[in-house]
């Protein structure tokens, strides 16, 4: 197994995938570095890539009028960044900023989508994993919406 | 001194009459949360175990149950962290050094810290839920060699809502791993952003040898327990601190009843497996 395949297989998202599928995914990846405080991607850009963080932290940010940048979530080593590449219109939703120097694997999304079209088992495996990842993120978002630390007990 | 804080007359139960405690110091933790250091007028230390609470009051405003946040090994000073949420807590938070507060207690079942010796212990806290866990942290760190991995997972709404932020570093130096996250933040915050349950997923817990002490808003605790169970921890090894409308503090009035238990008497600390059947009952 090549170094990139090993790296990918160690990530929780790709863990347990068949070696032939890991090879197909690794063929679409390349290592990149991002300096601290630099943007890895910007909202509304084409989602033609997604990333696996090897080291460092990426902050997902939203910019609101009059509010400036708000950090929605931070992502860390072993986590994937981005799922907009899976669904049309393939547009990024947030800004992604490195809050410290980061090493990542960048994946060529159109190429991997094409491989999924050719190999539906690969597509199913990837979709299953990303769906689980999205379900966790959705639950987290609902928790944030609940504002659980708010002033719920005003009687005291 | 107010009449209700006078020395307890003979024949009157100490359980029902507040003892006078003087505010020695006051520290602002967050915009609406303060930590008070209190000293009993009687000079007798208020012995307590980690996780127990008292009924705290300021004359004329009524009592509220507040967990003890101090060091169980130094009971001569009582520490309470109070968030101003309503009339009673606002009155307490307005107190200044020299003022006298009423204290009844300590009450309730503590965190099972002695029982957990030999285990990895995760402290999972949300918001001001770190206050009832501070006494457990101090207990564990004072006996650091008796425990395996000690890990604090702490979540708050925003960076300025983190309590004891100035103490986290010192705890880290004494052997507590500390992971902190906030629900939202500006770009100046260089720490984690995301819900506290995400910290548990990142923590690489050794499930069979890990026990969890969890305190925070009930919704947060439910999500945290769901995550921990998903990670393979047993519900028998997860402990939560519950909160209800506690009034008497001694199991007489029934206001804090939850299912078959009274929070003030049988809690506030419960095994998750014991309290779980009642948490999802909306009518309770």
- What's residue A155's pLDDT? 42
Does B185 reach chain A within 8 Å, measured CB to CB? yes
Contact B187 A59 (CB under 8 A): yes
For chain B, the domains span: 3-107, 120-241
Quick check: A107 and A25 in contact, CB under 8 A? yes
In this structure, CATH architecture of domain B3-107: Beta Barrel (2.40)
Residue, of B107 and A104, whose pLDDT is higher: A104
pLDDT tens, position by position, A23-73:
999 999 999 999 999 999 999 999 999 999 999 999 999 987 777 888 999
Helix H, strand E, coil C: the string for A88-106 is CCCECCCEEEECCCEEEEE
pLDDT tens, position by position, B156-173:
999 999 999 999 999 999
Which residues of B are less than 8 Å from A156 in CB distance? 64, 85-86, 88-89
Does B77 reach chain A within 8 Å, measured CB to CB? no
Burial class (CB in 10 A: 0-12, 13-18, 19+), B126: buried
Contact A74 B195 (CB under 8 A): no
For chain A, the domains span: 3-146
CATH of A3-146, picked from 3.90.470.10, 3.30.70.360, 2.60.120.10, 1.10.760.10, is: 2.60.120.10
How far is it, in rounded angstroms, from Cα B146 to Cα B148?
Answer: 7
The predicted model gives B207-236 an average pLDDT of 93
Q: Quick one: CA dihedral B32, B35, B39, B44, positive or negative?
A: positive
Q: pLDDT exceeding 90 applies to what percent of chain A?
A: 72
Contact A156 B64 (CB under 8 A): yes
CA dihedral (A72, A77, A83, A84) in degrees, to 10, reads 60
Helix axes of A109-118 and A19-27: crossing angle, nearest 10 degrees: 140
- What's residue A63's pLDDT? 86
* ipTM greater than cut 0.85: no
| Residue bearing tokens 């395996």 | B148
pLDDT tens, position by position, B65-96:
999 999 999 999 999 999 998 899 999 999 99
**CA B44 → CA B41, B78, B105, B176, distances in Å?**
8, 11, 13, 32
pTM to 2 decimal places: 0.88
Beta-sheet strand order (sheet of A68-75)? A39-41, A95-98, A58-64, A68-75
| CATH class as words, domain B120-241 | alpha beta
Helix ranges (H only) for B143-252 are 168-173, 196-202, 218-230
- What's residue B7's pLDDT? 56
Count of other CB atoms within 10 angstroms of residue B62: 15
Smallest Cα–Cα separation from A74: which of B98, B78, B204, B191?
B191
Q: What are the beta bridge partners of residue B104?
A: B55
């Amino acid at each position: 197994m090549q170094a990139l395949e090993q790296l990918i297989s160690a990530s929780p998202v790709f863990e347990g995938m068949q070696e032939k599928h890991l090879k197909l995914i690794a063929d679409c990846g390349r290592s990149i570095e991002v300096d601290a405080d630099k943007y890895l991607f910007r909202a509304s850009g084409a989602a033609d890539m997604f990333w696996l963080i090897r080291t460092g932290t990426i902050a997902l940010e939203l910019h609101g009028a009059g509010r400036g940048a708000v950090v929605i979530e931070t992502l860390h080593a072993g986590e994937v960044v981005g799922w907009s590449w899976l669904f049309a219109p393939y547009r990024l939703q947030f800004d992604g900023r490195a809050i410290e120097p980061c090493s990542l694997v960048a994946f060529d999304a159109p190429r991997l989508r094409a491989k999924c079209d050719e190999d539906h088992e690969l597509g199913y495996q990837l979709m299953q994993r990303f769906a689980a990842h999205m379900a966790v993120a959705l639950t987290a978002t609902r928790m944030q919406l609940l504002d659980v630390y708010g002033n719920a007990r005003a009687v005291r | 001194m107010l009449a209700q804080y006078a020395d307890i007359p003979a024949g009157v139960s100490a359980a029902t009459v507040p003892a006078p405690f003087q505010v020695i110091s006051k520290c602002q933790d967050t915009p609406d949360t303060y930590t008070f250091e209190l000293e009993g007028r009687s000079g007798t230390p208020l012995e307590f175990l980690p996780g127990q609470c008292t009924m705290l009051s300021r004359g004329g405003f009524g009592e509220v149950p507040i967990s003890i946040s101090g060091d169980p090994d130094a009971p001569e000073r009582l520490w309470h962290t109070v968030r101003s949420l309503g009339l009673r807590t606002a009155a307490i938070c307005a107190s200044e050094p020299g003022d006298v507060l009423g204290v009844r207690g300590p009450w309730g079942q503590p965190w099972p810290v002695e029982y957990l010796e030999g285990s990895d212990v995760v402290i999972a806290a949300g918001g001001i839920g770190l206050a009832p866990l501070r006494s457990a942290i101090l207990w564990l760190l004072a006996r650091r060699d008796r425990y395996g991995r000690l890990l604090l997972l702490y979540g708050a709404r925003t960076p300025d809502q983190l309590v004891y932020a100035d103490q986290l570093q010192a705890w880290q130096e004494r052997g507590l791993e500390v992971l902190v996250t906030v629900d939202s933040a500006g770009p100046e915050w260089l720490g984690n952003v995301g819900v506290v349950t995400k910290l548990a997923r990142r923590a690489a817990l050794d499930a069979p040898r890990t026990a969890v002490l969890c305190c925070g808003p009930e919704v947060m605790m439910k999500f945290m327990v769901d995550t921990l169970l998903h990670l393979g921890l047993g519900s028998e090894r997860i402990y939560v601190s519950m909160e209800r409308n506690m009034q008497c503090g001694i199991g007489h009035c029934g206001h804090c009843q939850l299912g078959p238990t009274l929070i003030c008497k049988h809690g506030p600390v419960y095994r998750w497996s014991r309290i779980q059947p009642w948490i999802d009952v909306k009518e309770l």
